Amino acid sequence: MAINLYGKWRLEVVKAIHNWENRYVIDGASSGGGTFDGVVGPAKVIDGVHWQLRAEYRENAGEPWAESDMMIDAAPDRIDIRATIGAEDPLPQLDFEDIEWDARWQGDTLFDIPVRPFAVRILDLGQMPDGIFETAIGVYYMGVRVENHWGLAFGPDHAIDITPQSRAQLTARGIDVIDSFTQRELDMLGQKLSGTGISLEGLEPDRSRVFYFKIDVREASPRKHDITFSVTNRAGMADPGDPRRFKTKQIFVSSSYIDETTGQIVSEVQEGEIRVQLREVAIDRVTAKKKRRRLDGSDGKGGGEKPRRGGRRRNPGARDLRRALEALLKGKDIDPCLIQKLLTCYCSCRDLPGFPGGGGYDPTDPWGGGRDPRFPGDGKWQYPPFLAFPTKFDYTVTPSEPFDGQYGPLPYDDPWWKVLLIIIAVILLIAGMIAEAADIAYQDEDNVIGTLGAFQQDDIDAALCVIDTDRALAMNTVLDAQGDEDFLNPLTALNGMVTAVTGNVMTHAEVSNLLVLPIDDPQRKVFKSGATTGFTHGIISGLSPTGHSEAAWSIDQLQITRDPAFDEPTSQKGDSGSVWIHTETLRPVGLHHSGAADGSGNFSIASLLEDVQRILNITI
């Protein structure tokens, strides 16, 4: 078996104890290669990027040459390698002295880290812009590219680590090194732990590879931070303190937050700050819808198993996160730490028993249900990363120190200020991916999605919309109660549809006539199929000019209360836009827009569709 060597080596045969004819061959060297007799003699210098030393033997001149067994002993580990290489013919006693070389590597380096360590988001394994660590996101994989500049491939005992002194300094600066990895993480990253470090086994000279540490920068100050790495051999070293075993690199940290007085997003670095006021955000709904996966084990297109019977448990953190993001996009005061806490709650709660696939995701069965921890979900669907990017915003840059002339300082003396804008965009992307945000990203295709036209918020809170052509439901049809929803009280059949809904809307006068009937009269009953609560029932309780606080109300609105025959709320936030339908006649009555602010679902409010048609000039 040949020995692989790299770079320039000095080889000297110091022993040659054999009965058969021996020789050795040097293949692949740029200089010093060839075939040589296996006898003690002067040293030879061989050089090459990657070359092989192979020993051979034969019993007599009439026999072909065969390869000898070989070994290399480079212990104790040292940068200027001094090794014993031995060759052995197939004899009962293996002493590897048929040919023995004293081998000395002529180089003087061990490794290098050619680029600055960079931030990789744990959620989606995406690299942060310019590799900058942003405190608002918190915990990252820190990618470290390691090049082997030694004369041998690194073995199973070689590891790269952050030195204890550097760890202590980082802790003092608010950066914690997290040594714990799950086996799933290690498999995903393709690496093995070695003590507190990462194994370098198999990394050959003149080759490089990225290894990942895990760090928490939430408490770090926005500046450059030094980190010292070391390459050690856990089996022992002759030169543990050699400075060539250490490399110090810098990481860049930014810190973003919401200015409570202005509602602006502020990102700070050592050289100053950038302030951003969001105006508009674009979302790639096509990718979100095409690549999503149902958490109940089906593919959402008729494949896989049917959704299980029983209610779907919702994560309350997702609702709170959506509210926080909506407020953020409106320029209101939101602390990014709140978003971080909600993300943490959401991700941990999603693994609780009772959620679809609760208890874990099987990567070998992508349609088997359960949540893949790398990607976000809304309790019903799981989504890969998709584009959500600010398209309109205002920003200003304020250097930390005044400067003369036209050009100011660059952040970290390296990336442009605009990189910080991208970091802010990434923060929004990460949060937006997790939230149960707009229906275009996080709900069924059956929920109305399209291009907005005429609209009016006051009095009717309604808009005209050109519906997508890929809608699953025909006109005059609504979903009945579905098996994967919270409330299972169908009108016709579970997992079915309510058809033959008429387009002849109920008028204000007709609703007024219903209100003179007893509250429990069947003619006062209505139902709706909403995005959040699904199919629920209610009872018409009144007409009055009231609604949510975001609009003014000067005309009567349909008031709906709980139906005591069903243990369910009338609606929840997210059901806006669903149509309340008269149960007995299947005539549309109102367009839902408001509900109980405390989330109890005790009542709902809707605009009469008669008024919506009149104000928006709709003719059916």
In the chain the domains, ranked by start, together with CATH numbers, are: 3-105 (2.60.120.400), 111-254 (2.60.40), 265-442 (no CATH), 450-615 (2.40.10.10)
Q: How many angstroms separate the CA atoms of 152 and 155, rounded?
A: 9
Identify the DSSP state of 377.
B
User: Torsion angle, CA of 15/21/27/30, rounded to 10 degrees?
Assistant: 60
Question: Which residues are CB-contacts of 421 (< 8 A; sequence separation ≥ 6)?
Answer: 274, 276, 390, 393, 395
- Tens of pLDDT, residue by residue over 429-438, are 433 322 222 2
Inform me whether the pLDDT recorded for 88 exceeds 70: yes
Residue 262, classed as helix, strand or coil, is coil
* Paired sense of beta strands 133-134 and 246-258, if any: parallel
Beta bridge partners of 466: 451
CB 186 within 8 A of CB 193: yes
Question: Average model confidence (pLDDT) for the chain?
Answer: 79
CB 242 within 8 A of CB 353: no
Question: Which residues are CB-contacts of 344 (< 8 A; sequence separation ≥ 6)?
Answer: none
- Tens of pLDDT, residue by residue over 433-457, are 222 222 323 333 333 345 566 778 7
| Percent of residues, the chain, with pLDDT higher than 70 | 70
- What is the CA 407 to chain-centroid distance, rounded? 36
Inform me whether the pLDDT recorded for 385 exceeds 80: no
Q: Residue 561: phi, psi to the nearest 5?
A: -120, 170
What mean pLDDT do residues 298-323 have? Answer: 46
**pLDDT grade, residue 131 (50/70/90)?**
confident
For helices 417-434 and 336-349, the axis angle rounded to 10 degrees is 40
pLDDT of residue 396: 76
Which position has the token pair 């002993």?
73
Assigned token pair, 68: 């000898």
170-184, 416-430, 569-583, range with greatest mean pLDDT = 170-184
Assigned token pair, 434: 């997790």
CB 276 within 8 A of CB 267: yes
Nearest to 375 by CA among 211, 188, 145: 188
| Burial class of residue 504, CB neighbours in 10 A (0-12, 13-18, 19+) | exposed
**What DSSP line would sit under 33-81, residue for residue?**
-EEEESS----EEEB-SSEEEEEEEESSTTSPPEEPEEEEE-PSB-SS-
* Paired sense of beta strands 118-121 and 579-582, if any: unpaired
pTM over 0.95? The answer is: no
pLDDT of residue 426: 53
- Tens of pLDDT, residue by residue over 8-54, are 999 999 999 888 899 999 999 999 999 999 999 999 999 999 999 99
Query: In 266-315, which ranges are continuous DSSP H helix?
Result: 285-290
Beta bridge partners of 87: 70, 99
What mean pLDDT do residues 576-595 have? Answer: 91
CB 272 within 8 A of CB 403: no
* 359 to 123, 241, 313, 352, 372: CA distances (angstroms): 19, 47, 14, 7, 11
Inform me whether the pLDDT recorded for 133 exceeds 70: yes
CB 226 within 8 A of CB 166: yes
Question: Which residues are CB-contacts of 266 (< 8 A; sequence separation ≥ 6)?
Answer: 256, 257, 258, 259, 273, 274, 275, 276
* Paired sense of beta strands 497-498 and 478-479, if any: antiparallel
CA 311-317-319 angle, 5° bins: 75
Beta bridge partners of 9: 46, 105
| Burial class of residue 493, CB neighbours in 10 A (0-12, 13-18, 19+) | exposed
What mean pLDDT do residues 247-260 have? Answer: 88
457-471, 490-504, 605-619, range with greatest mean pLDDT = 605-619
pLDDT of residue 355: 34
Nearest to 506 by CA among 592, 611, 577: 611
Q: Which helix (H) or strand (E) holds 328?
A: helix 316-329
